[in-house]
Structures are given as structure tokens and as C-alpha cells.
Amino acid sequence: MKVLVAVKRVIDYNVKIRVKPDGSDVDLTNVKMAMNPFCEIAVEEAVRLKEQGVATEVVAVTVGPKAAQEQLRTALALGADRAIHVESDERVESLGAAKALAKVVEKEAPQLVILGKQAIDSDNNQTGQMLAALTGMPQGTFASAVEVDGETLKVVREIDGGLQTVALKLPAVMTTDLRLNEPRYAKLPDIMKAKKKPLDVLTPAELGVEVASGLTLLKVEPPAERQGGVKVGSVDELVDKLKNEAKVIA
Amino acid sequence: MSILVLAEHHDGQLADATAHVVAAAQAIGGDIDVLVAGRDLGSIAEAAAKLDGVARVRVADSEVFAHQLAEPLADLLVSLADDYSHVLAAASTTGKNVLPRLAALKDVAQISEIIAVESADTFKRPIYAGNAIATVQSGDALKVITVRSTAFDAVAQEGSASVEAVDAAVDNALSSFVGEELAKSDRPELGAARVVVSGGRGMGSGENFKILDSVADKLGAAIGASRAAVDAGFVPNDMQVGQTGKIVAPDLYIAVGISGAIQHLAGMKDSKVIVAINKDEEAPIFQVADYGLVADLFEAIPELDSKL
């Protein structure tokens, strides 16, 4: 079966972000960018399905600016067969991305679409669910284990309080949680080979979608700073402070 | 304006999170209905009817909603949404699973994990693991919103809403429930606990987490963990506090053997008082801790236990 895997270019998760002085957004100039960590897990799962002989072709897709092709090349180096770039310089929110991805799903007709559960920039956790809705597919979100069984996808989901297993009728959409797998690193020869793999570029207009959002970002500000605390010298002092100063224990 | 709140419930009990989401609905203003969907909902609907500010509890009692699967629940919400200007749910795994599906079916954006209501169409929410706060305005006719429950105080339970059944003709050919495996705990729920004691990689092993038990019992605390402790296999993942786990904001948070990575801080930095116990005095956790103790946790925890 064909697997489509969506990836997003985001700020590297180790970077301490800065808010622009005018409060319009987060400052992304000269900041290290990378593939969203949950998307790495999605690519890894798609490649493992191929290695198991379940998937026959893995297609990586992204929606975003031209620079996002770097992340598609990373996906190709990790084992995806080809890539599709929906190029847009606009701010694309989850619904817009889901609409563009839905058109790609229509063209490619994959049996399984894998996304990360959330992007670490917007922290939305929406795109996979929205894509499932727009394509009329069932969704297996926050997956920590998956198994393809004929026409059914079994997904173990991480829910509050434990794990839930659901069976989905294929074609389906799933989103990855952290414990699904441990992503591999791209090897140098694979990075070289990835440069020759096909990468198609499309625009939202060519796909016939409008990626603009009903949301307006009015302001971005740093969170309230916590007041610097004190170091205590002993457990006795700690207990005393908690009882008498902070009054959080009796 | 009228607002529909999707009730959160587990094991036949209304979850505390619902009372917090109703508080967010009150901040928006308007008539508030609560939707309870599932099987055998009598006591849950009763508890929802007692929440202050709720006008009406709508009950969708059907086998198809029994396991809160996203596909039928989103279809149910779609069938009711035309009567409302806002649909709210807790930013729990259920809310996060269902509401974006509803939003896309209604062709509107979804606003995730709001922490403040500025007006009926403008909300604040954290982005970049809580390192920035965005103010967003929705131009959509229907606002679909998940609420970070720790950011709103629960409403009182002195209401008396009417309870009525929803005639829901929803079927589901797409997905089915296979089974679940829930962690058992006698302690307060992590998201709602007044005190949380969390262990990190410094705990060394899952076995060592037991030394937190007695302290937690004396403080009436829930026990949490950092992602490092979960990834190391010390404890199950539903104990994880962080950007990708649970977001908590207790009165007292005690971080034991936790370095304080960005991803962990995103889950606990709104706690009222933070205590850090770590032997590395350079650990970033000390930058957010109100009280820091540089000590070996294997000595400090038993001593703390004996002095409480």
C-alpha cells in the first residue's frame, strides 16, 4: 500500500525562542530550523512499514515556504521514495494545511496518511484530525503502536489515564506520539542519494485550495517571568519555608 | 450567544475538567449548554446539571458514543453546532481528538488550549512550548475551542440545569473500540491535584520512585514524572508532565531529580510554588524554582518524609 507522510519545518526544539520587540511574532531570523520531532517519528514509522513489506511506496509531503524542501530532502534521506512540496509563503494554519493535504490525498490516493501529533511551534495538535475529517477517513491519533491487518489498521492510542486500542477501516489517518518509535539518523550516502529522488512542487492555487485562515494573530508576548527563587541550605529550612513563608503545606 | 461545552467523563464520573471549561464559557458569556455523550449517563448528567452557570444538559446516550471515538462524536457535534456560537471542550486527549475534526467538518479554524478569554472572539494561548503567549482573534462564525483547564478556576456546584435527551441519529462505520488498558491509582488525578511530586531521570530506576510514595501520601499529592523518566521506562507515560504530556498548575510542585528541560517546564511552570531538589546546582530547574535544595535526592527525600 501507499503511505503518505506529512512533515513540517519548525524551529529546532533545542532553540530558546525570542519574541520580536514589536510583539508581532516569534523571531525566526537566523534561527536553526529542523524537521518537527513528531514528524520524524511519522517518517520513521512509514519507512518501517516499507521495510516490513506492508508499504510499497512512501511519499513525503510538506506545506510551507521554499526552504521547507530541506526537510523533504531529510525525509527522502531517511527512506521516503519521493516528495511533494506545496509551496506557500503565507502563514498557513492547521486548517489551511489540512485542506492542501486533502487535495494531495485525493491525487495520490494513499491507504495510510501519517502525521505527527503536533508541531512544536504552534502546539496546535489539529492537522491530522482535520485532514481525516476533510477526506472522510477515520483517525488514529496519539499512536504509540500500529499494526496493519488486511483492510484494518489497529492503533494503540495514548489517552489520559492509559492506552486505548481502536480498529480503523483503511484508508485512514494516524498521528504519532513520542513512544511510537525511535527515529533513525540519515546516513551520508543516503543524504547524497536523496538529492536525486523526485520532488514535485505544487502551489495551493494549482491544487485549487485556499490556505488563508479565519484566525488573526494579534499579538505575541513573552510569558510572565517567574520571580527568581532562593536556594535553601537544608531540608529543615525547606519545610519551614513551605509552612511559614509559602504556606502551601500545613 | 450560546455555548456548547462537551463534558469530559471517565468511569461513570464527570471529570473535574468540565467545571473548569464551564468557567471559560462563563468568561465568554452567553447561555451555556453541556453535552454529555456516552453510555449510562445518569449520574454524569446529574453532576453536570449542578455546575453553576449551566442552562441545559443535553444527553446523547447511545452505544455508538460509548468509547468517545472521534468519528461519531464529531458527527454528533456537527448535528448540534448550528445552534451555537462556540463549542468548547477541555484540552484533554478526548477534546484534542474530537474538536479539530468538528472544526474541519464545519470549515472553521480551531483554537487550541486557550488560557484566557479576552472577548467573545479573542483568546490567549501558549505557543512554542509555553515560551510565548499568542493573542488570536477568530473571524469564523463558529468558534471551536479547547481549554487548558488549569488556567480557569472550576465553577461551583450549586446549579440546577434542566436535563434533556438529544435525539442523535449517528452511526459509525469507520472505527471501532478494541480495548483499553488504564493505569490504576489511588492518588489524586495528576491534572487536578493540589500538590504534585515529580521524579526525573535522577531517580535512577522505576523501583526508586517508591521513595516518593510516602511524601506524596503525607502531602495528598499526585506523582508525576519528566519525559526522561518515562522514556527510560521508569514509569508509565500517563504520568508525564510536559509539553507532550500533562499540563499541571498545582499549588505546590516538587521536582525531584529533574533537570528542567523546556519541554518539562511547559507542563508545570504555572504552578504556584515550585520546589526543586537536585544535586546539580547548575540545573535549569533552579531558574524557575521558588525554593531550591542542592542535595542528593536519596538523602533529601527520606529526610523530608520524616519531617512532614
The confidence score (pLDDT) of residue B182 equals: 86
A94 contacts B110? CB cut-off 8 A: yes
The confidence score (pLDDT) of residue A209 equals: 95
What is the distance of C-alpha B30 from the center of its chain? 24
Q: How far is B66 from chain A (nearest CA, A)?
A: 13
Contacts of B252 in chain A (CB under 8 A): 242, 246, 248-249
The mean-pLDDT minimum among A220-234, B38-52, B255-269 falls in A220-234
Mean pLDDT rounded to a whole number for chain A: 95
Contacts of B103 in chain A (CB under 8 A): 95, 126, 130, 133
The confidence score (pLDDT) of residue B69 equals: 97
Find the mean pLDDT for residues A190-219: 95
- pLDDT-derived band at B210 (thresholds 50, 70, 90) equals very high
Contacts of B107 in chain A (CB under 8 A): 95
Contacts of A226 in chain B (CB under 8 A): 269, 274, 288, 290
Its pTM stands at: 0.92
Question: Quick one: what percent of chain B has pLDDT higher than 70?
Answer: 100
DSSP letters, B199-251, are E-GGG-STGGGGHHHHHHHHHT-EEEE-HHHHHTTSS-GGGBBSTTSB----S
Mean pLDDT rounded to a whole number for chain B: 95
B100 contacts A165? CB cut-off 8 A: no
Say yes or no to pLDDT of B195 above 90.
Answer: yes
Q: How far is B79 from chain A (nearest CA, A)?
A: 15
Please tell me the distance from the alpha carbon of residue B264 to that of residue B226, in angstroms, as a whole number.
6
ipTM of predicted complex: 0.94
Question: Quick one: what percent of chain A has pLDDT higher than 90?
Answer: 88
Find the mean pLDDT for residues A18-25: 95
- pLDDT-derived band at A250 (thresholds 50, 70, 90) equals confident
Residue type, A35: M
Contacts of B236 in chain A (CB under 8 A): 162
What do you get for the CA distance between the two ends of chain A, in Å? 61
Find the mean pLDDT for residues B177-189: 86
The minimal CB distance from B132 to the residues A120, A128, A222 is found for A222
Say yes or no to pLDDT of A168 above 80.
Answer: yes
Say yes or no to pLDDT of B184 above 80.
Answer: no
- pLDDT-derived band at B166 (thresholds 50, 70, 90) equals very high
* Cross-strand bridge partners of residue B199: B225, B256
Say yes or no to pLDDT of A194 above 80.
Answer: yes
Find the mean pLDDT for residues B214-222: 94
Cβ proximity of A124 and A175 under 8 Å: no
A166 contacts B292? CB cut-off 8 A: no
- pLDDT-derived band at B183 (thresholds 50, 70, 90) equals confident
Say yes or no to pLDDT of A134 above 90.
Answer: yes
Cβ proximity of B2 and B30 under 8 Å: yes
The confidence score (pLDDT) of residue B201 equals: 96
Contacts of A165 in chain B (CB under 8 A): 177-180
Find the mean pLDDT for residues B161-187: 91
Best mutation target among A122, A159, A181, A211 (most B Cβ atoms within 10 Å) is: A159
CB pairs under 8 A between A and B: 251
Give the angle subtended at the CA of A230 by the CAs of A225 and A234, to the nearest 5°: 150
The minimal CB distance from B104 to the residues A19, A95, A166 is found for A95
A142 contacts B131? CB cut-off 8 A: no
For residue B303, give the chain A residue with the closest CA. Answer: A235
Contacts of B234 in chain A (CB under 8 A): none
A161 contacts B112? CB cut-off 8 A: no
A169 contacts B174? CB cut-off 8 A: yes
- Location of C-alpha cell 484530525: A129
Say yes or no to pLDDT of A51 above 80.
Answer: yes
The confidence score (pLDDT) of residue A161 equals: 82
Say yes or no to pLDDT of A186 above 90.
Answer: yes
The confidence score (pLDDT) of residue B191 equals: 81
The confidence score (pLDDT) of residue A165 equals: 98
Best mutation target among B67, B144, B174, B288 (most A Cβ atoms within 10 Å) is: B174
The confidence score (pLDDT) of residue B189 equals: 83
The confidence score (pLDDT) of residue B11 equals: 87
The minimal CB distance from A129 to the residues B69, B97, B127 is found for B97
Say yes or no to pLDDT of B119 above 90.
Answer: yes
Q: What is the pLDDT of residues B239-275, one digit of tens each?
A: 999 988 888 999 999 999 999 998 899 899 989 999 9
B109 contacts A93? CB cut-off 8 A: yes
- pLDDT-derived band at B169 (thresholds 50, 70, 90) equals confident
Find the mean pLDDT for residues A47-76: 97
DSSP letters, chain B, are -EEEEEPPEETTEE-THHHHHHHHHHHH-SEEEEEEEESS-HHHHHHHHTSTTEEEEEEEE-GGGTT--HHHHHHHHHHHHTT-SEEEEESSHHHHHHHHHHHHHTT--EEEEE-EEEETTEEEEEETTTTEEEEEEE-SSSEEEEE-GGGSPPPPS----EEEE-------SSEEEEEEEEPP-SSPPGGG-SEEEEE-GGG-STGGGGHHHHHHHHHT-EEEE-HHHHHTTSS-GGGBBSTTSB----SEEEEES----HHHHHHHTT-SEEEEEES-TT-THHHH-SEEEES-HHHHHHHHHHH-
Find the mean pLDDT for residues B155-170: 93
Find the mean pLDDT for residues B3-17: 95
- pLDDT-derived band at B220 (thresholds 50, 70, 90) equals very high
Q: What is the pLDDT of residues B48-70, one digit of tens each?
A: 999 999 999 999 999 999 999 99
B238 contacts A158? CB cut-off 8 A: yes
The confidence score (pLDDT) of residue A179 equals: 84
B178 contacts A166? CB cut-off 8 A: yes
